[in-house]
Amino acid sequence: MAEKLVIYDSVFGNTAKIADAIGEAVGETPVIKVTEVAETDLKDLKILFVGSPTRAFRPTPATMSFLKGLSQTTLSGVKAAAFDTRIPFNQTDSGFLKFMIKLFGYADAKIAKALTKAGASLVIESAGFGVSGTEGPLVEGELERAQDWASEILSMGY
């Protein structure tokens, strides 16, 4: 059982790269795909990062299934942070897509809400990391930004 854990899902590999960058920044931290998480992985946690690509304005079905499977006390006392990968709002020319993003948002907010519902305390505003187009690659500088984001959380004493 680790004190720190990164759980993620990935469709095209971009969110996996962000999860690995976070795990590297946090140091000696397991990075586990959401479909491979065991209940024992959640024991004795102090900090948990959960991320997913944004698919149809929400986390992947596997991520949602994992989050919905958590009881209201599973993450009691755990500090948590949510992240996603997404097409940045300012990088789309589609007025319809911009309207839909404003209406439904991205996966990070839904992950954060589910983590809170499972008893976790959010330690920082969730983060979204940009992907070029539907399949990627990541926008330049996003791996470094993910590491900085995770390092900022650690600098808070977690």
- The predicted-structure confidence for 9-65, as pLDDT tens digits, reads as follows 999 999 999 999 999 999 989 999 999 999 899 999 999 999 999 999 999 999 999
pLDDT of residue 157: 78
- The token duo for 7 is 């759980």
- The token duo for 132 is 């070029």
- H-helix or E-strand containing 33? strand 31-33
- Please compute the mean of the pLDDT values over residues 102-120 and round it to a whole number: 94
pLDDT of residue 79: 96
pLDDT of residue 31: 98
Asked whether residue 1 carries a pLDDT value surpassing 90, the answer given is no
The DSSP line for 41-70 is GGTT-SEEEEEEE-BTTB--HHHHHHHHTS
Domains belonging to the chain, first-starting first, are 4-155 (3.40.50.360)
